[in-house]
Structure 1
Amino acid sequence: MTVNGNSVDTVRELLASGRLDLPHPGCGATADRHRALSGIARTMPVGVARLAEAHCDAMSILHEAGTAPVGGALYGVWASAGTASLSGDRASLSGTSPFCSGLGIVDRALVSVSDATGRPLLIDIDLEMRSSITFDTSGWSTVALADTATGAVRFDDDPLDADRIVGCPGWYLDRVGFWHGACGPAACWAGGTLGVIDVAHRLGASDPHRRAQLGALEAASWTLDALLAAAGNEIDASPDDRVAAQRRARSLRHAVERTCSDVLDRFSRAFGPRPFASDAALATRFADVHLYLRQHHGERELGAIVDGVECTNPDSETR
């Protein structure tokens, strides 16, 4: 896999311009945070939004932990279940973390590993000039989200900086902010899909059937904006209610995923194959959004809404 230099430059420009300095969830402007993430995914490559969202999530995680980020660094969040673990004395880290995005792009990453007792522990790791850390993107076989440089990370007796441990064992998954942060990808799914709706409006309606589909897409646009705003306002109204946060995040992710999937289906039915064959940016956006939506884990998340059951990280397979 080759990294898209344009996407890397765009993420770096967003970071340098301050556009990734978003309000933290639960601090009074969460709807604005959702709107900003959606706007990035709507107007820029979806892969850029995915990397930007991870950085913003990392900033909020560190804020919640009372830990300062390294100034000027672009962060990732690598929290997929893998084999990476600390030695008994916490001196070094070994093993593999799968589905890590931003390989060769981000400067630092918040990495979830297992401590000596098997509990998850979050570590802020510097990725610069580390011979004990290697990347492998060869397993990413799709063109979708190729610019996110996603793959496996191997740690080979990597020295641990104890000062960069974030929270106590189990803190990353136990905190209420985990569920507030789970709304961020949904904002990007929505924004990527709104970009598809923008293309539909540019193509226009030449017959009654297409006009009907455009009407449905316009309604979906309103729905997505309303969902993100409502979720943000609810988070700010009760930022410390963990049960409500879990149900809200799962409900938002389901509603956004279903709405976005309907948009992709309606667009294809309205316009047929020609736009995909002639517009490379649209074809890429469509593929990126379709794959990104699979970060929603379907019925596993829906069942947890009813049961109130704690389960694995909703982003654990792709974050």
Structure 2
Amino acid sequence: MQPPSGPQPVRISSAPGRLEATVPLLESVRDAVGDVPALLALARSVGRTAPRPGDGDTAHLWELLASVTAVDVAAGRVLEPHLDAVAILAQAGAIAREGSGTARAATGVVPAAVPEAADGAWGVFAAEGPGLRLEASPDGAGGYVLDGSKPWCSLAAQLDGAVLTAHLAGGNSGDAGTGARAAFAVKLRDPGVSCETPQWSSRGLREIPSGTVHFEGVRAVPVGGPGWYFERPGFAWGGMGVAACWLGGAVAVARDFGSALAKAAEGGREPDQVALAHLGETDRIIAALTGYLARTAARIDAGDLSGSGAWSEALRVRGAVAAAVERIQAMVAQNLGPGPLAFNEPYGKRMADLSLYIRQHHAMRDDAQLGALTLKGDRSW
């Protein structure tokens, strides 16, 4: 059995013919591995036509994310936040377009103030860090001014804009109004923005360093009102999109495994029962995950995950995929041994990139959050 000669898409539920149409994109991603400006250009291009979560084609959006990540994990890490930013701005724009009175009540700005991400490369920065705080103060003209620092801002120096969260000045973090966190759109080319170059010692995601960005008097446009960024169902949908990327990385590792076993068999070394058992387990894990994501995407598009249960489902999806990634990586590494990690650059890069990427999942802390929601009755069993 010879492995495919070129990059192959990851199927969740689309017809094979539709997935074949993505192969030219995947070939472009393969040719751009390690070239962040080229990957950002591809992200901008994909962002103009890619489905948005909840608009009726969520499964195909996740197939795009998974398929790109299966080619190169760092490429998926570039694409996902840009598509997330495009979706966030579209969701906020939809609120604004309901009418100027509704929009002003919901967002504090007139509809025309909601920007678009069509002409640049965008990121999403929502992390917090000890000793760092970004505050937003009204500028008196319907906008805000940002001052302070934001950690974990991936590729900030190479992006045109970002959707980020900041604390509204003048209150406590628990307030519903001032002091709460809100989302803003900001131009990262503003002279008041300075990006630290982090000392990135990890082997994983070397192309995607995440440093601290400092803001001094930087104008920003509100995107939704206080708390809207976290309360909207799109927050959960975006979190599941990240899990689709993790799935793509796991599929690529599984393909590496299958190709290695097939090559060994062609050379006269048939896989033993342990290797076959691990390959079988890998197959059923991926089959279960793709089925789960297909059903979840359909529920999103049907409106079943637009309320309070969306985040519980996101925690289930993310936890299931993260656990599967770690299991598949462990089985493949045990079977293939140190050789490919030491001498096979694409395999070693993929394993290192994926190991770092899934640390966005908070393991037992996310399970504890899910357990608390389950205890409140948010469960189907």
TM-score interval (norm. to shorter): 0.7 to 0.9
Q: Deviations over 1:144-188 (max 9, x none)?
A: 112113111011222x14xx2111121111112111111011000
- The aligned counterpart of 2:58 is 30
Correspondence 1:55 to 2:82: yes
User: If you compute each CA radius of gyration, which structure gives the higher value, 1 or 2?
Assistant: 2
Aligned to 1:194: 251
Q: Is the 8 A contact 1:110 1:125 kept in 2?
A: yes
CA distance in 2, matches of 1:14, 1:274: 34
Deviation at 1:217, TM superposition (A): 1.9
Q: In 1, distance between residues paired with 2:89 and 2:370?
A: 27
Q: Distance in 1 between matches of 2:240 and 2:195?
A: 28
Tell whether 2:253 aligns with 1:207.
Answer: no
Residue 214 (structure 1) shift: 1.8
Cross-structure match for 1:278: 343
Map 1:156-175 → 2, pairs under 5 A: 156-158=216-218, 160-161=219-220, 164-175=221-232
**In the alignment, is residue 84 of structure 1 matched against residue 134 of structure 2?**
yes
State the TM-score, normalizing by the size of structure 2: 0.74
* Equivalent residue letter for 1:77: V
Q: Which runs of 5+ in 1 are unaligned?
A: 310-319
Paired residues of 2:47 and 2:86 also in contact (CA < 8 A): no
Q: Per the alignment, do residues 233 and 88 of structure 1 end up closer, same or farther by CA in structure 2, a change over 3 Å counting?
A: closer
1:77-130 CA distance string (max 9 Å, x none): 0111240112465753111100111222221100111112211121111112x2
Aligned residues: 300
**Secondary structure at the counterpart of residue 214 of structure 2:** strand
- Identical columns (%): 29
Native 8 Å contact 1:7 1:47 kept in 2:
no
1:104-143 matched pairs, under 5 angstroms: 104-116=157-169, 117-128=178-189, 130-143=190-203
Q: What TM-score do the two structures reach when normalised by structure 1?
A: 0.88
Deviates more, 1:203-212 or 1:246-255: 203-212
SS at match of 1:242: coil
| C-alpha distance in structure 1 between counterparts of 2:305 and 2:257, whole Å | 40
After TM superposition, the structure 1 stretch with the greater mean CA deviation from structure 2, 45-54 or 204-213, is 204-213
Following TM superposition, by how much is the alpha carbon of 1:229 offset from its aligned partner in structure 2, in angstroms? 1.2
Distance apart, 1:193 and its partner CA: 1.2
**Gaps in structure 2 of 5+ consecutive residues:** 1-32, 94-113, 170-177, 263-269, 375-381
> What is the identity, as a one-letter code, of the residue corresponding to 2:77?
R
Question: 2:152 is matched with which residue?
Answer: 99
Q: Deviations over 1:271-300 (max 9, x none)?
A: 100011111111111011111111111122
Higher relative contact order (CA 8 A, sep 6+): 1
- Tell me the SS of whatever aligns to 2:156: coil
Report deviation, 1:20: 6.1
Change (3 A) 1:91 1:234: closer
Q: 2:241 aligns with which of 173, 176, 184?
A: 184
Secondary structure at 2:207's aligned position in 1? helix
User: 2:316 is matched with which residue?
Assistant: 251
Is the CA contact 2:193–2:214 (under 8 Å) kept in the aligned structure 1? yes
Supply the distance in 1 between the matched residues of 2:207 and 2:304 (Cα, whole angstroms): 34
> Is 2:214 the partner of 1:154?
yes
Alpha carbon RMSD of aligned pairs, Å?
Answer: 2.0
Structure 1 residue aligned with 2:105:
none
**Alignment CA distance shift 1:68-1:135 (3 Å):** closer
Q: Aligned match of 1:8 in 13, 16, 37? A: 37
Matches of 1:250 and 1:155, distance apart in 2: 32
Partner of 2:174: none
Per the alignment, in what secondary structure is the counterpart of residue 182 of structure 1? helix
Give the SS at the match of 1:169. coil
What amino acid sits opposite 2:134 in the alignment?
Answer: A
